[in-house]
Amino acid sequence: MAVEGKTIDALSQFELAPALGPIGASVNFTQSNLFMLIAAGLILALMHYGMRPAAVVPGRFQALAETFHEFARNLVVEQVGPEGRRFFPFVFTLFMFILFGNMLGLLPFAFTFTSHIAVTFTLAMIVFVLITVVAISLHGKKFLGYFFPEGAPIWLAPIIIPVEIVSYLSRPVSLSIRLFANMVAGHVMLKVFATFIVLLGGLGAVGPFIAVLPLAVNVALVGFEVLVAFLQAYVFAILTCIYLHDAVHLH
């Protein structure tokens, strides 16, 4: 499938296909949606069944659930400050959803829904709308002062204000491109080196021995991708927190 006519087809893994048979096809339910539901279900299961014993000495799943919870709470409190705790559910949900999406995508036959810019841009727009609404509701008209730093000479306003506005509007774009590009690049590299294994493996008697090299690269890449999957979820969450800090404190 990956190797047709001895070419490298690294992008077909991102194609959407209807899932769940004819019912899914009739409502355009793709495998991307399916894996979003799986991710959400896994998160709920982890949180529900992990925390059900509520033991003083946690078991494995409870320890995992508590670690995630504590990690995200520290992130929010450190970046936004104590008053940012009301944003914890939002950041935690976002972090877990992206983390599970990235990690699920590394499993064989799974689909990485965070490798589609439509998905990441939607997530980033939710963050963008939230920070704007929070800033306006907390500060009202003072929010406009965000686009013109105090003490700057007034004749610079025609330059500074458009630049600040474009910089503000570029937040969701950079947030979504970063996640999407990282996931796509990682999966394309995995696919390319996996294709090398197949192509080199069919190269006569010496083929299988040379094919060990791209196999070794792929083993290293999978480890690297686990790191990237976690890191990108973390970066998305921490940037959300930094933007929330800006919205709450406004300067």
Partner 1 sequence: MDTRDGFEERLRKARERKGLDRAKHSQQGLPGSAAIGFRAGVEVVSALIVGVGIGWLLDRWLGTFPWLFLVFFLIGGAAGVLNVHRLFNPRTRPKDPAEAGPGSGSKDGSSAGGGRRQDD
- Whose Cβ is closer to partner 1: residue 169's or residue 203's? 169
Q: How far apart are CA 186 and CA 13, in angstroms?
A: 12
Contact between 150 and partner 1 by CB under 8 A: the answer reads: yes
Asked if 142 touches partner 1 (CB under 8 A), the answer is yes
Task: Please tell me whether residue 229 binds partner 1 under the rule CB under 8 A.
Answer: no
CB 94 within 8 A of CB 114: no
Nearer to partner 1, 192 or 242 (CB): 242
With respect to partner 1, which residue has the nearer C-beta, 48 or 142?
142
Instruction: Select from 133, 169, 210, 213 the one that contacts partner 1 (CB under 8 A).
Output: 169
For the bound state, the minimum distance from the C-beta of residue 40 to partner 1, rounded and expressed in Å, comes to 26
Instruction: Select the span of 11-19, 94-102, 139-147, 217-225 touching partner 1 (CB under 8 A).
Output: 139-147
Q: Are 203 and 210 in contact (CB under 8 A)?
A: yes
**Beta-sheet strands, E only, within the chain:** 3-4, 7-8
Q: Closer to partner 1 at the Cβ: 25 or 231?
A: 231
- The residue (of 9 and 246) whose beta carbon lies closer to partner 1 is 246
Give the H or E element holding residue 228: helix 212-249
Q: Please give the structure tokens belonging to residue 25.
A: 């096809």
By CB under 8 A, which span of 31-39, 80-88, 125-133, 192-200 interacts with partner 1?
A: 80-88
Minimum distance between the CB of residue 171 and partner 1, rounded to whole angstroms? 8
- Angle of CA points 125, 126, 129, to nearest 5°: 80
Strand partners, 8: 3
Helix axes 88-104, 117-139, angle to 10 degrees: 170
What are the residues facing 59 on neighbouring strands?
none
Judged by CB under 8 A, which of 27, 138, 157, 213 binds partner 1?
138
Contacting partner 1 (CB under 8 A), which of 53, 59, 162, 223? 162
Site size for partner 1, by CB under 8 A?
32
Dihedral angle sign, alpha carbons of residues 22, 101, 79, 118: negative
46, 164, 199, 201: residue in contact with partner 1 (rule CB under 8 A): 164
* Residue 20 Cβ vs partner 1, minimum distance, rounded to whole Å: 35
Q: How far is CA 36 from CA 106, 155, 197, 201, in A?
A: 14, 50, 31, 35
| Cβ-proximal residues to 213 (8 Å cutoff; 6+ apart), any chain | 200
Look up residue 57 and give its two tokens: 């000495």
CA atoms within 13 A on the CB side of 9: 11
Query: If binding is defined by CB under 8 A, does position 122 make contact with partner 1?
Result: no
* Minimum distance, C-beta of residue 76 to partner 1, in the bound complex (Å): 12
List residues binding partner 1 (CB under 8 A).
Answer: 81-86, 138-139, 142, 145, 150, 159, 162-164, 166-167, 169-170, 173-174, 177-178, 181, 231, 242, 245-246, 248-251
